[in-house]
A = this chain, B = another copy of it.
Amino acid sequence: MPMRNRLPPDQYINGILAGDRLVLSRAITLIESRLPNDQALAQEVLNGVLTQTGHSIRVGITGVPGVGKSTFIEAFGKYLTGQGHKLAVLAVDPTSQRSGGSLLGDKTRMEQLSVDPNAYIRPSPAGDSLGGVAHRTRETMLLCEAAGFDVILIETVGVGQSETLVHGMVDFFLLLMLAGAGDELQGMKRGIMELADALAITKADGDNRPAADRARVEYQNALHLFPPTGTGWYPPVLTCSATTGDGITDIWQLIQNHQEQMTRNGHRDRRRQEQQLAWFRSHLRRRLESRFFQQAGVSEQLKAMEEQIKDGTLLPVQAVENLLRNI
């Protein structure tokens, strides 16, 4: 029996392919739903638009809180739509798991972009594991591509594992940095810098300009210490200002150069293929687990075992073997 408010699959598929934003939003709601019927319907819709996906430039954007991600995306996004692009902005947000959405949650933070007919902003789904959020964001990205959006921005915060997840679904990963007071590298994990295809020092305007230029040189030197990526690409460091607009064009030019170079040398396709495989494997792991835990008797046995394990009277390995034997 179809759910209330659900359309037949063809209506979703045709609506998305026609670029109907309302239908797109309703299809994304399906993807975010945990109801088995919705999930099956979502897969049918995804399969129906699959051949029309993959044609966008996928850009990940991260940076610690306070770096100015929203203002950057507002300025960068307006520039892109001004250039005739259709832009979708999505988020992978570890904080949304508890609070019900913080990144992009407040669309007023992107005043102009949120009312731009060529931009589509969708906050991170809440109430799911980080892996689950990333999974749904990937599928949402595919729907947006099928709906005709040719640039996808995926925002995340520079804490936790979300950057690795976002890096695993984009063609270009941009790290926003603040010019600080001598300890620029402090707050940012080295691991994230290694993922970046470029760094941009934000708020490079007014009195901040000299500090931003110094930071640019420092970071460029720091990046030289990293091992080469094997793709022939050397991550540059730029400065930009959402207020003056300085550097915004350069960043888009850079992303296009990267795209062109990686398409020519085959690394763009290879990166996407590896991303698809990694997505497949992580989803398989998640499903294997959830299938197991849903079996009759598992949760009761688990509960009893966990008590014994906490008491120190049962070894974890023994517990696992017992559980697998019983189920």
A interface residue numbers (CB < 8 A to B): 43, 46-47, 50, 53-54, 139, 182-183, 185-187, 189-191, 222, 273, 276-277, 279-280, 283-285, 287-289, 291-292, 305-306, 309-310, 312-313, 315-321, 323-324
Closest to A270 in B: B310
Q: Is the CB of B292 within 8 A of A43?
A: no
Q: Is the CB of B319 within 8 A of A280?
A: yes
A272 smallest CB distance to B (angstroms): 8
Chain B residues near A53 (CB-CB < 8 A)? 312
Contact of A316 among B187, B276, B291, B319 (CB under 8 A): B276
Q: Is the CB of B189 within 8 A of A186?
A: no
Query: Does more than half of chain A's interface fall in helix, strand or loop, or is it mixed?
Result: helix
Given A46-B318, A276-B309, output 5 extra A-B contacts at Cβ < 8 Å. A46-B317, A139-B317, A186-B190, A277-B309, A284-B319
Chain B residues near A139 (CB-CB < 8 A)? 317
A107 smallest CB distance to B (angstroms): 29
A294 smallest CB distance to B (angstroms): 12
Q: Is the CB of B284 within 8 A of A43?
A: no
A285→B284 CA distance, assembly (Å): 12
Chain B residues near A277 (CB-CB < 8 A)? 306, 309-310
A277→B309 CA distance, assembly (Å): 7
- 7 intermolecular pairs with C-beta atoms under 8 Å apart: A46-B318, A54-B312, A183-B183, A280-B305, A280-B320, A285-B289, A287-B321
Chain B residues near A46 (CB-CB < 8 A)? 315, 317-318
A320→B287 CA distance, assembly (Å): 8
A318→B276 CA distance, assembly (Å): 12
A186→B316 CA distance, assembly (Å): 38
Closest to A318 in B: B43
Chain B residues near A47 (CB-CB < 8 A)? 315, 318
